[in-house]
């Protein structure tokens, strides 16, 4: 939706066309606080975003906070309110019995650490890990995920979309159980065990996904996840942050086959490419036939060097992704959206690009929308 007056609403057909590479304009999501609620919206976001992990015993409170955040926010063009069940990046480790540590920081930020990433003494040997690899219906964090998803779906009533929890990347989960340094060493000295356990985690990952999907599809058309994209089919953003530690050779041997299999089992898939450390693996990712696209996140270090997603520095990467027929997902500062569109327009199809942004005020969002319409990056309102 383009108007600043209403709530939200997006065209399912726009998303279908984007996934198929048939959209004639970029997918654009603009998020902005309603006028007069800027400070309150930021506080509400911080409260609900980590609410499920902070207080897993009071799910309704987090959902109510999210709804209040939505009332004081605007979701423009292709944006929509997305309540995904945030229990931390890679909660499958928690489902398997790893330690779950919620940590808040003084700046208002927070995160969740799992297993050895929470406490090095939590790194387990292979026999212990193999004993952890079973589907436990009674696991506390799995029950929280199920309950939060069900309650959110009941509360939604068309007011927002409910997204999957962050299940995590298969090797990221394994690194939480084994310890990152241990896992890297094992790839050299115990490679068969790494491969065997990785595939077992993959099978469990998809059991969790399918269980959640069976619940979601009863109440909601289509799927969403932490990345904030909607699909009419079974979709998920896959990843391997651990791969920043690996050479391309190790990535090809251990990680690539798992990613390819995930792409075979799901319908729509975007790979979350997180930081320069993963760039050596791009060529392998682009060869995955069923991979729909790549989300590029330069990381805070690059952004401090003025190399955010709108920077000319990343245009060769974008060209490579688009030339391989893959979609591109980027987050761009509000003031640089038009610049990013012009740069990408010169090297590939905008119809395969999703640009996400937030504006600091309604006036800035309105001006941006007007300029996007003038440049035919979106359709003009009638």
Cβ atoms 255, 240 nearer than 8 A: yes
Q: Is residue 254 part of a domain?
A: no
64 and 89 belong to one structural domain: yes
Q: Is residue 239 part of a domain?
A: no
Q: Is residue 144 part of a domain?
A: yes
Q: Is residue 320 part of a domain?
A: yes
- The confidence score (pLDDT) of residue 2 equals 35
Strands (DSSP E) contained in 62-116 are 73-77, 82-84, 100-104, 110-114
111 and 150 belong to one structural domain: yes
Domain boundary among 227, 251, 276: 227
190 and 44 belong to one structural domain: yes
Query: What is the number of domains present in the chain?
Result: 2
Domain boundary among 174, 206, 227: 227
Give pLDDT < 70 ranges for the chain.
Answer: 1-8, 380-382
Cα separation of 91 and 102, whole Å? Answer: 12
Cβ atoms 175, 201 nearer than 8 A: no
170 and 311 belong to one structural domain: no
206 and 67 belong to one structural domain: yes
25 and 118 belong to one structural domain: no
Q: Is residue 243 part of a domain?
A: no
Q: What is the DSSP string of 306-342?
A: T-STTSGGGHHHHHHHHHTT-EEEEE--GGGHHHHHH
Domain boundary among 227, 255, 286: 227
17 and 66 belong to one structural domain: no
32 and 44 belong to one structural domain: no
Cα separation of 237 and 282, whole Å? Answer: 16
Q: Is residue 318 part of a domain?
A: yes
- The confidence score (pLDDT) of residue 125 equals 98
Q: Is residue 211 part of a domain?
A: yes
Helix (H, G, I), strand (E, B) or coil at 29: strand
25 and 46 belong to one structural domain: no
Q: Is residue 260 part of a domain?
A: no
Cα separation of 25 and 240, whole Å? Answer: 30
48 and 165 belong to one structural domain: yes
215 and 278 belong to one structural domain: no
Q: Structural domain of residue 200, as residue ranges?
A: 38-71+81-227
- The confidence score (pLDDT) of residue 380 equals 62
220 and 100 belong to one structural domain: yes
């Amino acid at each position: 939706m383009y108007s600043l007056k209403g709530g939200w609403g997006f065209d399912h057909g726009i998303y279908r066309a984007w996934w198929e590479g048939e959209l004639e304009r970029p997918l654009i999501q603009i998020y902005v606080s309603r006028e007069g609620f800027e400070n309150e919206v930021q506080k509400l976001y911080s409260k609900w975003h980590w609410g499920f992990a902070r207080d897993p015993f009071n799910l309704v409170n987090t959902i109510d906070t999210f709804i209040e955040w939505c009332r004081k926010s605007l979701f423009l063009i292709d944006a929509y309110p997305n309540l995904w069940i945030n229990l931390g990046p890679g909660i499958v480790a928690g489902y398997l019995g790893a330690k779950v540590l919620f940590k808040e920081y003084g700046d208002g930020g927070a995160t969740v650490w799992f297993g050895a990433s929470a406490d090095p003494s939590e790194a387990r040997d292979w026999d212990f890990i193999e004993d952890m690899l079973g589907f436990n219906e009674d696991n506390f964090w799995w029950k929280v995920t199920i309950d939060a998803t069900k309650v959110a779906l009941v509360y939604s009533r068309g007011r927002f979309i409910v997204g999957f929890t962050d299940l995590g990347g298969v090797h990221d989960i394994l690194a939480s159980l084994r310890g990152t340094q241990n896992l890297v060493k094992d790839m050299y000295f115990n490679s068969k065990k790494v491969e065997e356990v990785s595939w077992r985690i993959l099978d469990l990952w998809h059991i969790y996904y399918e269980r959640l999907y069976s619940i979601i599809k009863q109440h909601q058309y289509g799927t969403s996840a932490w990345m904030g994209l909607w699909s009419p089919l079974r979709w998920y953003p896959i990843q391997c942050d651990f791969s920043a530690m690996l050479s391309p050779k190790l990535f090809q041997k251990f990680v690539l086959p798992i990613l390819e299999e995930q792409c075979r089992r799901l319908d729509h898939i975007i790979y979350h490419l997180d930081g320069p450390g993963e760039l050596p693996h791009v060529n392998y990712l682009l060869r995955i036939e069923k991979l729909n696209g790549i989300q590029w996140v330069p990381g805070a270090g690059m952004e401090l060097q003025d190399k955010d997603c709108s920077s000319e520095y990343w245009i060769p990467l974008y060209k490579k992704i688009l030339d391989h027929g893959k979609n591109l997902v980027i987050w761009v500062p509000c003031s640089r959206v038009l610049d990013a569109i012009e740069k990408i327009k010169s090297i590939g199809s905008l119809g395969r690009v999703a640009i996400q942004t937030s504006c600091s005020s309604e006036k800035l969002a309105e001006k941006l929308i007007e300029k996007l319409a003038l440049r035919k990056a979106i359709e003009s309102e009638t």
